[in-house]
Amino acid sequence: MRTVNTVSELRNAVREWRSAGQSVALVPTMGNLHAGHLALVSKAKEKADRVVVSIFINPTQFGVGEDFESYPRTEQEDQEKLNSSGADLVFLPAVSEVYASDAKTIVSIAGLSEWYCGASRPGHFDGVATVVCKLFNIVQPDTALFGLKDFQQLTVIRTMVRDLNFPIEIVGVETVREASGLAMSSRNGYLSADEKAVAAKLYQSLCIARDAILAGQQSYEDIENSALLFLRDCGFQPEYFTVCRAGDLKKAGMDDMDLVLLAAARLGKTRLIDNIYFSR
pLDDT in tens, 91-146: 999 999 999 999 999 999 999 999 999 999 999 999 999 999 999 999 999 999 99
User: Is the distance from CB of 27 to CB of 51 less than 8 angstroms?
Assistant: yes
- The fold adopted by the segment(s) 186-275 is Pantoate--beta-alanine Ligase; Chain: A,domain 2 (3.30.1300)
* Catalytic position from the list 26, 28, 30, 37: 37
User: Is the distance from CB of 178 to CB of 184 less than 8 angstroms?
Assistant: yes
Distance from first CA to last CA of the chain, Å, rounded? Answer: 44
Q: Is the pLDDT of residue 218 over 90?
A: no
Each residue of 31-52: pLDDT tens digit? 999 999 999 999 999 999 999 9
What pLDDT is attached to residue 221?
96
59 exposed, middle or buried (CB, 10 Å; 0-12, 13-18, 19+)? middle
Q: Where in the chain is the domain with CATH 3.30.1300.10?
A: 186-275
Each residue of 198-211: pLDDT tens digit? 999 999 999 999 99
User: Is the distance from CB of 144 to CB of 15 less than 8 angstroms?
Assistant: no
What pLDDT is attached to residue 135?
98
The stretches of 121-164 forming alpha helices (DSSP H) are 124-139, 151-163
State the pLDDT confidence band at 60, using cuts at 50, 70 and 90. very high
Q: Is the pLDDT of residue 217 over 90?
A: no
Average pLDDT, the chain: 97
Give me the percent of the chain exceeding a pLDDT of 70.
100
Inter-CA distances, 38 with 27, 43, 49, 60, 170, Å:
10, 9, 17, 25, 17
Q: What average pLDDT does this structure show over 256-264?
A: 97
Inter-CA distances, 259 with 60, 65, 97, 134, Å:
30, 33, 40, 31
For 243, the 3-state DSSP assignment is strand
The DSSP H or E segment spanning 53 is strand 50-55
Each residue of 64-98: pLDDT tens digit? 889 999 999 999 999 999 999 999 999 999 999 99
Q: Where in the chain is the domain with CATH 3.40.50.620?
A: 2-173
34 carries an active-site annotation: no
> pTM score, two decimals?
0.95
CA distance 152 to 10: 29
Q: Which CATH superfamily is domain 2-173 in?
A: HUPs (3.40.50.620)
What pLDDT is attached to residue 48?
98
Each residue of 147-204: pLDDT tens digit? 999 999 999 999 999 999 999 999 999 999 999 999 999 999 999 999 999 999 999 9
DSSP class per residue in 57-112: --GGG--TTSSTTTS---HHHHHHHHHHHT-SEEE---HHHHS-TT-------TTG
